[in-house]
A and B are shown apart, each in its own frame.
Chain A
């Protein structure tokens, strides 16, 4: 069994991936495009390092040849990814931990995480997912704690022709029990001081009302997607106001990393990273069943300047060998 950790690096100045195409309201394009371009950049950077790597004096000629793909444009996976054998984790691409740290003092920032628990992953592993995601982000940004963590649960969405309809549909979505269990894990991290505020995403009036009755710490934030009506259902507005829960907007889709998408991202196709073997082919690459587990989106926002300094994603998946 191999864990795979995908990362985008800082995408805030990474070019067009971050620009929303007009007309799209909920999408994972930012995430998938950023992953793709980070894979490509890493392949180019590390391959270039190899090719120009004779300066270290060992003078091994042809060193890079053994890593070059026989047929092509992509450098071998080993060159631009990293296998941590101790934890059996493959980092795609290698993470450059030195590049993400914040430029100003910690207190200048509002650091927000949104953790997507994916429908493909077992709910009883969420404690581990939270720990891993938090660890990766805090390491990337060089901080000890984050300001807000928003939990996005699978199967919960706020979608419909208009927000009113969305609110009704929402009432029976998700799995209350699993969500409460996960919340308790988050509450524990909050009391340890690792997370300042907690939030949830896409909770409609009914679901939210049920939820806050059963939790110790109420969410400070509920993120909802407003498509185009800009009419938040009045009961939700009222409840949020009474309970002092801030209703924030977002444009993410809930199932941000379906298996098929991940397989395509890592596969041998034209758009793929070449990490994963194709089903029937005899070519290289890892084999097995790929299960996306979680995605974390993080942003570091300089509060009194309104500037986003760092934004990126990590994602976790498991490769189960046949």
Chain B
């Protein structure tokens, strides 16, 4: 397992010297995979979901909820569980697992944050419709197994971020003081990160390359009693331990922003990511492009991140915070200084929305492409010389403008063409909202596409609903040959829009009005004696601006009818797909429940997690309408989330959670409801 490969991680000045070599070897490895796998065909649709948890300590008597830093111990306990291993589950990073099991138990993985845990199914899911119903029980099982290997006062919860990460004083168990040599953060200790050398090095070298600490600034939510202008009261302007302590004095913490200064504030967020295996490279490239415009929609719809560092933020999602938390661009690359040592000004962080479309689809118009795309021309040249087509070569030549951040000295000794480590070094530190994944070396896995924007939801019911919805939408895209192309610049804009508080109801997003293919003229015409001439416009030729419109999330999900367009809606599209396949009644009804959750979230009938959390805070007796989320509110909130999760494990509805306000606004009558209404709501 690459993750645990120990070695000598190079400090940035050293690593920088070898960046070109890593890139060069990475490109060689990429061409090797590409040549081996470009004709790979007929791979099944397999897919996987990843659930990420925060591990918190919670007990009735303790006034504080803390982040548990026992990730390593929990993983060790999971790996030591013989019964789990016998049934194919465990921790692949620590042990060899028996992959031959027909229904292996879930597996667990370390994550960047030492308070995080990731769990995936024991084997990839297929597309049998009944199989889609196994996802939710499996997610619940993962949570149960995780909990069983924790202390009684520790809980895995699926909040995107810990509301009081980085507050002054104690917020971790055990406590470590901030301002360590690696992160040099005012707010969090070095020990917040997974201690494996890869992670602190990643954080340190990002800071080092950048020339200062990362600046994660989130606009504060101005409530009735919030000062205006508001100054983050937790920022210490008078620290003199590290040179980076000057950042705060040099304007890193502007008024009206919650200021954070370390990678953990971003990479410590939990997401719901879905990976799909494509039939072949062509289908993979198509899925990559077609899912890309859907990304911001799903980000807004899954919004779950309204609190940072003990303050209510004026944004609802995590995305930009992660983006800035790993932004290794120098002042020159950011455009703050003229270029001298760096090669380019780079418009986006390594963690950002997509910058390329890569499909061979002839509906991909040049006008959709990113005008500001930065690529490494020489790498593009090498790839094309190696036989790769220009479009895909451009994609990788764009990813490869980045430096490798973590380099192990041992890996530089010899280029191993049977591995993909150097390629992956660059590829896996480009965190765009879609990822196009070539088959790993030495495996039978096919070309894959990862969908990365969604926020984790508090319950596994919701997580399963969003995962299954994404699976179904990919099937509908491929079956109906749908076309969601809009210019990349508009997808970027949508990604920003998705951050707005309550964007799901308050904002509009650019979306393509007509997703349908134009029907090709029948082949009798084309193969006849005459010159084939299209009798009607086969490919769109009007202005690109006429192809898309601003739509609400409700219109995108549930459909719209305006004078300008009648976009059918993603849910009706999925339902039409289901209408055309053989699916048994029970399965169809269960799937309808998932679609119904999404339909209601989009219409505003049900709240996003972000809205629910905001309301929870606003109604809390300890809240003073001053944007502050203190220990008491935090404890209530996390306590409620734990209660919801435990109720879900029991599986008998949400009844009895009287202390949790507005639960029916979050979950409606789904999964047994909150009492009173009965359970008849599912398919309506």
Contact = CB atoms under 8 A, between A and B. Distances in A.
A96 B519 contact: no
Interface stretch (A44-52, A186-194, A262-270, A279-287): A44-52
Interface in B427-456: none
B568 A16 contact: yes
Interface in A42-99: 42, 44-49, 52-56, 94, 96, 98-99
A96 B524 contact: yes
Contacts of A45: 521-522, 524-525, 535
Nearest to B577: A308
Nearest to B46: A304
Contacts of B479: 12-13, 307-309
A246 interface: yes
B683 A14 contact: no
Contacts of A148: 582
A20 interface: yes
B45 A304 contact: yes
B519 A21 contact: no
A250 B559 CA distance: 22
A310 B485 CA distance: 24
Contacts of B535: 44-45, 47-48
B524 A249 contact: no
A183 B233 CA distance: 80
A170 interface: no
A135 B115 CA distance: 63
A128 interface: no
A47 B683 CA distance: 47
Nearest to A58: B529
Contacts of B682: 230
Interface in B507-521: 516-519, 521
A104 B42 contact: yes
B656 interface: no
Interface in A209-250: 221, 224, 226, 228-230, 232, 246-250
B390 interface: no
B528 A19 contact: no
Given A22-B572, A307-B478, A248 B531 contact: no
Interface stretch (B78-86, B292-300, B376-384, B586-594): B586-594
B585 A306 contact: no
Interface string A291-322: 00000000101001111110100000000000
Nearest to A50: B530
B538 to A, nearest CB: 11
A143 interface: no
A18 interface: yes
B531 to A, nearest CB: 5
Contact of B576 (A20, A41, A104, A305): A20
B409 interface: no
A112 interface: yes
A299 B585 contact: no
Given A20-B572, A308-B577, A48 B525 contact: yes
B527 interface: yes
B339 interface: no
A181 interface: no
Contacts of A53: 528-530
Contact of B126 (A12, A19, A110, A304): A304
Contact of B583 (A94, A248, A305): A248
A96 B521 CA distance: 11
Contacts of A52: 530-531, 533
B569 A49 contact: no
A249 B530 contact: no
B576 A19 contact: yes
B523 A99 contact: yes
A210 B475 CA distance: 39
Nearest to B533: A52
A249 B585 contact: yes
B46 to A, nearest CB: 9
Given A12-B479, A108-B42, A228 B529 contact: no
A104 B127 CA distance: 18
Contacts of B279: 305, 307
A275 to B, nearest CB: 18
Contact of B45 (A12, A49, A96, A306): A306
Sort chain B's interface into a size bin.
Answer: 35 or more
Contacts of B524: 45-46, 49, 94, 96, 98
Nearest to A10: B519
B340 interface: no
Contacts of B581: 299, 301, 306, 308
B684 interface: yes
B658 interface: no
A137 B682 CA distance: 37
Interface residues of A, number: 56
Nearest to B479: A308
A41 B522 contact: yes
B584 interface: yes
A229 B589 CA distance: 9
Given A22-B572, A307-B478, A49 B523 contact: no
Q: Which of A56, A96, A110 has the most CB of B within 10 A?
A: A96
A202 B547 CA distance: 42
A251 interface: yes
Contacts of B362: none
Nearest to A37: B519
Nearest to B126: A304
B575 interface: yes
B558 A226 contact: no
A251 B579 contact: yes
A76 to B, nearest CB: 16
Nearest to A232: B585
B278 to A, nearest CB: 9
B193 to A, nearest CB: 39
B525 A228 contact: no
A22 B558 CA distance: 8
A112 B585 contact: no
Contacts of A96: 522-524
A260 interface: no
Contacts of A54: 530
B240 interface: no
B582 A301 contact: yes
B480 A13 contact: yes
B127 A306 contact: yes
B536 interface: yes
Contact of A249 (B45, B475, B534, B588): B588
A248 B582 contact: yes
Contacts of A305: 44-45, 127, 279, 478
Contacts of B527: 98
Contact of B530 (A12, A56, A230): A56
Contacts of B534: 48
B481 interface: yes
Interface string B552-575: 000000110000000011011101
Contacts of A42: 522
A217 B415 CA distance: 64
B522 A110 contact: no
Contacts of A41: 519, 521-522
Nearest to A38: B519
B580 interface: yes
B516 A15 contact: yes
Contacts of A46: 524-525
Given A44-B535, A53-B528, 13 more contacts: A9-B522, A12-B481, A18-B576, A19-B576, A22-B572, A99-B523, A108-B42, A226-B585, A230-B592, A247-B584, A250-B579, A299-B580, A305-B127
4 interchain residue pairs of minimum CB distance: A48-B535, A306-B127, A230-B589, A230-B683
30 contacts: A9-B522, A12-B481, A13-B516, A13-B519, A16-B568, A19-B572, A19-B573, A21-B572, A22-B559, A22-B572, A44-B536, A45-B522, A45-B525, A48-B525, A49-B524, A54-B530, A96-B522, A98-B524, A98-B527, A232-B586, A246-B584, A248-B582, A248-B584, A248-B585, A299-B580, A301-B581, A301-B582, A304-B44, A304-B126, A308-B580
